[in-house]
Structure 1
Amino acid sequence: MKQYIKIGTRKSKLAMVQTEMVVNAIKKVNTDIEIELVPMTTIGDKVLDKPLESFGGKGAFISEFEDALLTGKIDMAVHSAKDMPISLPKGLSILAVSLREDPRDVLVTRKNCPLPQNGIVGTSSLRRQIQIEELYPVQTKNLRGNVGTRLLKLQNKEYDGIILAAAGLKRLNFQEDKEYDFMYLDEDSFIPAAGQGIIAIEGREEAALQAVLQSFNHMESMYNLETEREVLKLLNAGCSEPVGVYSNIDKDKIILRVIYKYKNKVIRVNGIAKIEERLLLAKKLVNDIINFE
């Protein structure tokens, strides 16, 4: 018997590319499934002249999908994991995640135009702002829009540089564009957003949907995402918080790094633990931040 699944996605080129990756992976092992894409527009796509924290934070890209999931309009929604709020509605969860793409941030400048002193760097992320200002004597200015729009604003000299996620650049094949120079910022020191580079599939907690995604789910990336989101949860950190969280796994160990601006201090902490103790590690590092003097 044929199974029908409706998958929600934003309409941007990056969102569609990521959703097609999920669809192809599902169909590869589930040949009897018919999938319908349901493109949707969120408030975060509509309001581009304000920072996210001023009108809804991370939920600005998610809430319409969650309403559609709960009413049965769609069965799954494909998100960039870093865009997801910490609290999900009752009955919904992250059913599966992808293999993590390059988690790094990238400083993009026009070709042969290095970042000048006191130059303007475009980013709407407080996390990126505090870290780029540690590296360079620059000013930061709000920057919204899809990847192509942001690059066009850079090309039009509205900014001297912009910061983008390496994962998005690579999935859109922009990373070799000859009009720009790309400086990849080391993830151990320029700490990414929680979940950066991971595609997350949100859906109703139904066995049939979980079974469809079983072969797609990448457990190491799920461990990373769980650990990083636990830090955000314990810090009660939303989109307006200047926090970066990144973990990587080495054999049976997980290494966790956090940057957080707390009480006007930029605090960096890191630690290592066994994978099964990853949530305890998150709790320890959050306690280290709260008790930092």
Structure 2
Amino acid sequence: MKRKNYLIVIVTIAIMSIVGFDNTYADNIHNENLTQQVNQQGTANSYEFSKNDYLDLSRTNQSQNASVLTSGKQKVTVNNNTNGRFANFAETPEQVTTLTYHTSEQFEDGMFRIYFWIDSITGPAPAAVDFKINFYSEPSLQGPVSVQTSQKMVQGTDVHIGNIGYVEFPAKTTFFAVDGDWGMAGYNGNTSIAPIQMSSVYLQNKIGQNFPEYIDPVSKKDAETPIHTDWAKLTSSPTWTTQDRYLFIKEFSEKYGNQSADYWNNNQVHHIRPRIYGGTNDFSNLMPVPVQQHQLITTWFRNY
């Protein structure tokens, strides 16, 4: 009986590898609908920023210090329905299996690594799990979006809680989001496939640091949303003088009201597009940012 189950698992994994995921993607897809779909998450993030003044995009998987991108749960039970939601994984009809998972991302050796984790298994473990990741990137929140799709990763023995594998994409400064598909196979040969829901949109530099987002509570100016990741670096920066700072504060006060001396002592004037990347001293390119946050943004741009 064990040998028969083993052979069924081998055949099932082979089937998952061939027909488990029937979607195909190409690099550099420039599509307005896709751009809108990806950036709906960016809109949701901006709403959260407006409520919290600023929000670090990195949520941390405490055990691995990696940014959690997506998470989900799938329940499988015994019946004859194998249309992608339910499948028979158990040897007895009363058994039910529930798996929860998350994906995470971190920078390693010039690559963005997307990990797939099983967080819990309730009921009999499946015989095999596989996953595939779509990596969406864009130079700005206006697009265009490019898509890269990983090869399928299969864990065909000893499915257990923890990391079951990762896929890699070349690291670069970009806005990005991920989604994909994952599937499971039972010892009885049945399979189940489910989507990995799209993550939020993140902005990372070429060494995988999340942009330290900030929205000024007075002007509501956003330090991240206007950024483009294809700005060319100049040989030198335009000058920024005490007089330039005075003129900005004067116009800011005329538009948004006078702020206290403590406000301006605790905030520096930030160039949304850095001067070294073509940014000007125009009022539209400037915003107040707390000193510590400004230091984080400046550090982030060193690896732009």
Place the TM-score, normalised by the shorter chain, in its bin. Answer: under 0.3
Q: Larger % of helix: which?
A: 1
Which of the two has higher C-alpha Rg? 2
